Structure 1
């Protein structure tokens, strides 16, 4: 079979309800790699976080992290990155934000947060990756791939409106969950990195397969040769990416089930 590039999101897509990997998922990806297909994980998570999931999968996958801010190879070498301009990071950190909203920065090597948030630790328990609590006024805004606001969706909507009003032409603003507002540099996206990686691997975009569940997966699904939205996907995802086919949910190992069907495993 012609080699394909298979790219998948993690949370609520590849990972199950316990934020882990089902046995059928691990077996499917290892089989596809043995057959000569290229694999990639594309997530809003930090690179260090995704790397542990890749280890658990047991495959040599590329990693697209922070919603397309960074692209790493299977050998952990940085291939490309698109950082948020320092002046924008500083401006975002100076915004008046409710104390109920947690401000996070994903730098090249760390996850910074403005105050402890136990629920986030539970979310990342399966990988062991954790945050560093810092005083954001001491942060210079250097080497930031993503600014992340976590909180009530109503509060986030106000923040989103402010950011779009002041930085619309210089930022890519999206959601990975309804309580997670993510801000990257304008050109940083999963779809953009999908194109870059396919070109590097000399794989036609028509031979790319992508899976996602939320709004930050939109342009990746729009651009992939075959696109699949999880049964648990955000209601607007299929509207924004009408080319995507709806499949089983992440609680039913939907990615693995569809891949086994596509590649006759």
Structure 2
């Protein structure tokens, strides 16, 4: 638990598998709880692998103020949309990523400030973005500039990505970071870019101690953030690998049941009682 003398000042939330239900919508209970936190003057941070342009639209639609950590920590924006931090893939590494013939059938996706770019038309991937209307742009990979690319994603079945990961690690060594943002999504990141480092940068700017923060997440791209705060909360539907690596952290319920809201209602109304994820 957070130390008694350090009240909660900031709450950070992953989106997919955490705030969002399996149909990729924000439930009404979740929205209500977020608004109650904001009314308590708790700073809200939405930390996600999704693109800034998409998250900007989502926050505008729900009318809830929040700082944005997007692209798994490669971009940080303040409440007014001002860019506070940006990190990009090294140009030479990006050139290798798009020109090498990787031994995989995984689709290839690039995040840039001007949007999400891929060379494959895969309408099924848009299901996760239907509530925001965010879409990819089609382009031949060799036409993408080597500068200004925040991350690359390989999307495929989990076993396919598990086979690809050591190939990428052997090729790039310590020049890039890798993480699973979902079972079917392997992200390639600039070294040191993650939600935890981005949150540390933001809290330092806001003069808030990480011990005064709580965070919620479900995937490996949430690990650094969850471990850095005063109270890290792991979703019941989290990736098994995450649960194993942060076994010391508290596990709450499933995103399908709006478990973040269930926990927040306990924290808002019965903070001195022991929390149980059972409904």
TM-score, structure 1 length as denominator?
A: 0.95
Task: Indicate the residue corresponding to 2:36 in structure 1.
Answer: 31
Task: Indicate the residue corresponding to 2:193 in structure 1.
Answer: 188
Q: Which runs of 4+ in 1 moved over 3 A?
A: 97-100
Q: How does 1:168-183 map onto structure 2 within 5 Å?
A: 168-183=173-188
CA distance in 2, matches of 1:48, 1:195: 22
Aligned-residue offset at 1:100: 3.3
Matched-pair contact (CA < 8 Å) for 1:30–1:58: no
Aligned-residue offset at 1:133: 0.6
Q: Taking structure 1 as reference, are residues 16 and 239 closer, same or farther at Cα in structure 2, changes over 3 Å only?
A: same
CA distance in 2, matches of 1:263, 1:223: 22
CA distance in 1, matches of 2:62, 2:75: 20
Q: Does 1:132 align with 2:142?
A: no
Matched-pair contact (CA < 8 Å) for 1:15–1:21: yes
Please report the RMSD computed on the Cα atoms of aligned residues, expressed in angstroms: 1.6
CA distance in 2, matches of 1:194, 1:226: 14
TM-score, structure 2 length as denominator?
A: 0.91
Q: Taking structure 1 as reference, are residues 165 and 34 closer, same or farther at Cα in structure 2, changes over 3 Å only?
A: same
CA distance in 2, matches of 1:15, 1:54: 13
Aligned-residue offset at 1:88: 0.7
Matched-pair contact (CA < 8 Å) for 1:41–1:62: yes
Matched-pair contact (CA < 8 Å) for 2:88–2:190: yes
Q: Structure 2, unaligned stretches of length 5 or more? A: 1-5, 271-279
Q: Does 1:151 align with 2:184?
A: no
Matched-pair contact (CA < 8 Å) for 1:148–1:180: yes
Q: Does 1:239 align with 2:251?
A: no
- Count residues with an aligned counterpart: 265
Aligned equivalent of 1:110, options 115, 139, 152:
115
CA distance in 1, matches of 2:19, 2:118: 26
SS in 2 for 1:209: strand
CA distance in 1, matches of 2:67, 2:141: 31
Aligned equivalent of 1:248, options 237, 240, 253:
253
Aligned equivalent of 1:226, options 222, 227, 231:
231
Task: Indicate the residue corresponding to 2:274 in structure 1.
Answer: none
SS in 2 for 1:169: helix
Aligned-residue offset at 1:154: 3.0
Matched-pair contact (CA < 8 Å) for 2:154–2:161: yes
Q: Does 1:204 align with 2:191?
A: no
SS in 2 for 1:168: helix
